[in-house]
Amino acid sequence: MLSHSYGAALDNPNLLVISVVGDGEAETGPLATSWHLNKFINPQRDGIVLPVLLLNDYKINNPPLLSRIEEEEPLSLFKGYSYEPRLVATEEDIMQAHQYMAEAMSWAVERMLEIKGTAKKSDFSIRPHYPMVILDSSYRKALSPDFRRAFAPEPTS
Ligand SMILES: Cc1ncc(C[n+]2csc(CCOP(=O)(O)OP(=O)(O)O)c2C)c(N)n1
């Protein structure tokens, strides 16, 4: 999914591709390597991809890792992949979640326009860190330690 999105953006400077990636899909080898494609995007010649990573805590019948690690870990991971991630965590109030998501999408579009604007005016010498949104709908903050332990690997003695 993400590699197709980057493929669509290449040589298409006015295109914005919003690529929604599931936490299960994110664990597959091809997707896991595709995060690095942001390094091949030239903000003068290419369009921009906005990845939206959906942490819904489901992947067929297993819990996905990205939904299970501590909140700051996915943020550090995607910073390391040269993104500027913004986390939207949905609480029980779904209307509030819509509001946070709308704000995050507006922020991301503004950041992308800024990056495009700067690239037009200057030499393309600094590799930009493009925005991405991580939408956490897993309610994991409400999960008890016992519930988390139930999914932890069995200790080997
Ligand atoms: C390239 C590739 N590898 C593996 C699979 C097998 N597969 C089917 S669904 C799925 C996980 C889907 O989980 P997620 O993306 O979180 O979607 P959700 O179940 O939350 O809708 C995987 C790994 C696939 N379809 N394609």
pTM: 0.85
Q: What percent of the chain has pLDDT over 70?
A: 85
Mean pLDDT of 95-100: 85
Structural domains in the chain, sorted by start: 2-150 (3.40.50.970)
SS (H, E, C) the chain: CHHHHHHHHCCCCCCEEEEEEECCHHHCHHHHHHHHHHHHCCCCCCCEEEEEEEECCCECCECCHHHHCCCHHHHHHHHHCCEEEEEEECCCCHHHHHHHHHHHHHHHHHHHHHHHHHHHHCCCCCCCCEEEEEEECCCHHHCCHHHHHHHCCCCCC
Task: Decide: 61 in ligand 1 pocket, CB within 6 A.
Answer: no
Write out pLDDT tens, residues 22-59: 999 999 999 999 999 999 999 999 999 999 999 988 78
- Residue nearest atom 13 of ligand 1, based on CA coordinates: 24
Task: Decide: 28 in ligand 1 pocket, CB within 6 A.
Answer: yes
